[in-house]
Amino acid sequence: MAINYADSAKQIVELIGGDGNVISVTHCATRLRFVLKEMAKVDKEVLKRVQGVITVIESSGQLQVVIGNHVGDAYREVQKLVQVDENAVVDAPKVGMVNHLMDIISSIFAPFLYPLAACGVLQGLISFFAAIGWMDPASGTFRILNFVSWTGFTFLPVMVAFTAAKKFNVNPFTAVIAACALVSPDYMNMLTANKIILANSADPAVQALMQSAMENPVINEAIVNLVGVPLNSAPLSFLGLPVQYLSYTASVIPIILMVWAMSYVQRFFERILPVVVRNLFTPMFCLAIMVPLTLLAFGPIGNLIGGAIGGIYNTLYHLSPSIAGFVVGAVWTPLVTLGVHWGITPVTVGNYATLGYDTFTGLQASAVFGIAGAVFGVYFKAKDAELKSMTLSAGVTALFGITEPAIYGVALRFKRPLICGCLAGAIGGTVAGAFNAVSWSYCIPGIAVLPVFFKEGHMAQFLGFLLSIGVAFTLGVIFSWMAGFQTDADVSQPQPLKSEAV
């Protein structure tokens, strides 16, 4: 039966304490995320029984209402009922440092993950089509689609700046302009002229071009004429302070630091400037201060932080890819249930920017297919028609990378499938690590994005990846079917509320 999300939204808003209790509401791939004034006003047990609600989680200072694939429908209806003053200054509930950090990361990355993943899928598809001879890499069609697929990563700082501005209560257009400055043609020309882009670009074609330019006097002269800056020009400085040349394409942490600091600069000038000039000069001072400050400080600091975080994981991975795969495959699903899985996003995005690929996603995929297999194991074992329908829907959804319905609707409900899925994911991850499976562009692992794991000349890695997810899925089905689950009579499952009343 189709769910009336207009009615469900009314019940959700009432059960979280009404419109007046809401500070903000956003959504990610599967969850409505509320920041509330008073969490005590929420009736969680009744809220879990609202039609369309899979479960309710309190995490990272948020009330997260898990909806599933129809979260967009629910969000649109909730928006009609909740009036949020974006300019109002309200103290959010105090949470621990880790929860606060996870909240920041999820709020920044969740809104654009699917468009970014779409760019990755497009990259994978055209690479696959070129490898099998369906597309000529020299053709205009390939070249146009190729630069389109790279655009999301080139201008990733702009998307990060926009969502970070909303999180830190900064004028989003000021933040976007500041981010655009860091990926502007003029700044990129400076990088080119100073031989820095060679070290920072993840694109092998750009690296090869720059190497040729450095060694070939003719190309060298042509580039100088193009960018208008001699290759042996004096180092760039600002007010006498040296600027470290860094590429900010696909950059994340420096942009987050910039927008965070900008929030204080903006509030300072809004407080001291006369009203008559505030709207004009506040953005001007923000740009004039924050872009140079990012070049001088936040950029180098952010790159060091990102490099250190990524370096820790990559060091562990290179010590033993198979052990890393076992750990990632085993713990990824529990991390999702705790809501702390967002912490890995800056690492994976940073790997694409610096390495041109990511190993974590190649291991993570086994966890996704393992939990999908475990849910299908319940489907094959179940006798109840309603349970079979629910597990089939959750299992298919998990195969496409959206695991929350499978985790909260099946795995956590019956317990054993969760253990079986984690075990299957660990074994699959071990296989993935043994074959050095990687993702060549950002994606949310699932059957729809398999081309992202393919690259010409790396067939063994791709076949090893396919083997790993096949092992994880198959073992998930077998383990879950063998372990069984409690019958519905043994599991207390609350009945959904009727739509017309709460």
Burial 253-274 (b: 16+ CB within 10 A, else e): bbbbbbbbbbbebbeebeeeee
Residue 416 tokens, joined: 């054993």
d(CA 463, CA 468): 9
d(CA 246, CA 243): 9
Residue 367 tokens, joined: 């966890």
What is the residue-level pLDDT of the chain in tens, covering all 502 positions?
A: 568 888 888 889 888 888 888 888 888 777 888 888 888 888 888 888 888 888 888 876 788 888 877 888 888 888 888 876 555 545 555 656 766 776 777 778 778 877 877 887 787 788 778 877 888 888 888 889 888 888 887 888 999 999 999 889 999 999 999 999 988 888 877 766 554 444 444 455 555 665 665 566 666 666 556 555 555 556 677 888 888 777 787 778 889 999 999 999 999 999 999 989 989 999 999 999 999 999 899 888 887 877 777 677 778 888 899 999 999 999 888 887 766 676 677 778 777 777 788 899 999 999 999 999 999 999 998 888 878 888 888 888 888 888 877 887 788 888 889 999 999 999 999 999 999 999 988 888 888 888 889 888 888 999 999 999 999 999 999 999 998 876 544 444 444 454 433 3
d(CA 431, CA 468): 5
Give this prediction's pTM: 0.69
CA distances from 154 to 119, 130, 255, 397 (A): 11, 22, 13, 30
Quote the pLDDT of residue 208. Answer: 61
Q: Is the dihedral of CA 317, 318, 322, 323 positive or negative?
A: negative
Residue 212 tokens, joined: 């040729």
Residue 283 tokens, joined: 């953005």
- Collapse the DSSP code of 183 into the 3-class scheme (helix H, G, I; strand E, B; otherwise coil) and give the result: coil
d(CA 33, CA 403): 17
Measured from the Cβ of residue 501, the count of other Cβ atoms closer than 10 Å reads 7
d(CA 161, CA 258): 8
- 369 in Cβ contact with 472 (< 8 Å): yes
- The one-letter amino acid code at 328 reads V
Residue position matching structure tokens 């689609």? 145
- The one-letter amino acid code at 500 reads E
Residue position matching structure tokens 């990632």? 328
Q: Catalytic annotation on 28? A: yes
d(CA 105, CA 122): 25
Q: Helices (DSSP H) in 232-298: which residue ranges?
A: 253-272, 275-293
d(CA 46, CA 451): 43
DSSP 213-243: HHH-HHHHHHHHHHH-S-TTPPPPEETTEEP
- Name the CATH superfamily housing domain 5-92: Glucose permease domain IIB (3.30.1360.60)
Closest CA to 190 of 230, 220, 138: 230
The overall longest dimension of the chain from CA atoms, in Å, is 80
Query: In the chain, what are the domain boundaries?
Result: 5-92, 114-308, 320-483
Establish how many alpha carbons lie within 13 A of residue 166's alpha carbon, considering only the half-sphere containing its beta carbon. 18
- E-strand ranges in 129-236 read none
DSSP 22-77: EEEEEE-SSEEEEEES-GGG--HHHHTTSTT--EEEEETTEEEEE--TTHHHHHHH
Q: Which of 28, 286, 420, 422 is catalytic?
A: 28
Strand partners, 24: 35
d(CA 409, CA 406): 5
Measured from the Cβ of residue 161, the count of other Cβ atoms closer than 10 Å reads 27
Nearest-5° angle of CA 67, CA 72, CA 78? 80
CA distances from 326 to 79, 341, 362, 432, 478 (A): 42, 17, 12, 9, 19
Closest CA to 231 of 197, 181, 205, 262: 197
d(CA 12, CA 80): 12
Closest CA to 166 of 67, 100, 256: 256
